[in-house]
């Protein structure tokens, strides 16, 4: 069973609407819908809250919804890449300024 099915079942078992669940875990209702329709996956903070709310093992959630672990890794990689690209852009700009006018650079 994937994470979307688990969340939908647990929400239903607890007789909560998507809106009520969203209020409990401080996310928009659309986010709950996206999770349950497997369009997106919860971030780690939301997973912790969901595990506590539904009395689930976080290990179990992560193993059954293994795409969550992959998404977290991808998000970390994207942040790392963005930082590298920002640094490279700044370095490139500094080099261009120096090349265009080396005597007034420092």
Tens digit of each residue's pLDDT (9 = 90 or more) over 62-84: 775 556 666 666 777 777 787 77
Cβ atoms of 42 and 3 within 8 Å: the answer is yes
* pLDDT above 60 (res 47): yes
pTM above threshold 0.75: no
User: What is the average per-residue pLDDT within 47-75?
Assistant: 76
DSSP state for residue 102 in the 8-state scheme: G
> What is the token pair recorded at 81?
């890449």
Count, in order, helices (H) and strands (E) of the chain: 6, 0
Q: What confidence score (pLDDT) does residue 9 get? A: 94
Q: What is the 3-state secondary structure (H, E, C) of 54-68?
A: CCCCHHHHHHHCCHH
For the ranges 1-10, 34-43, 52-61, 95-104, which has the lowest average pLDDT? 95-104
Residue 9 to residue 56: CA distance in whole angstroms: 12
């Amino acid at each position: 069973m994937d994470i979307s099915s688990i969340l939908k079942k647990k929400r239903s078992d607890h007789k909560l609407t998507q809106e009520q669940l969203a209020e409990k875990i401080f996310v928009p209702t659309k986010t709950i819908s996206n999770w349950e329709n497997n369009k997106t996956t919860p971030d780690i903070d939301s997973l912790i809250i969901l595990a506590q709310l539904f009395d689930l093992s976080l290990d179990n959630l992560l193993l059954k919804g293994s795409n969550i672990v992959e998404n977290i890794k991808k998000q970390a990689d994207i942040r790392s890449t963005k930082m590298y690209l920002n640094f490279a852009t700044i370095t490139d700009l500094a080099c261009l300024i120096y090349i265009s006018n080396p005597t007034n650079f420092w």
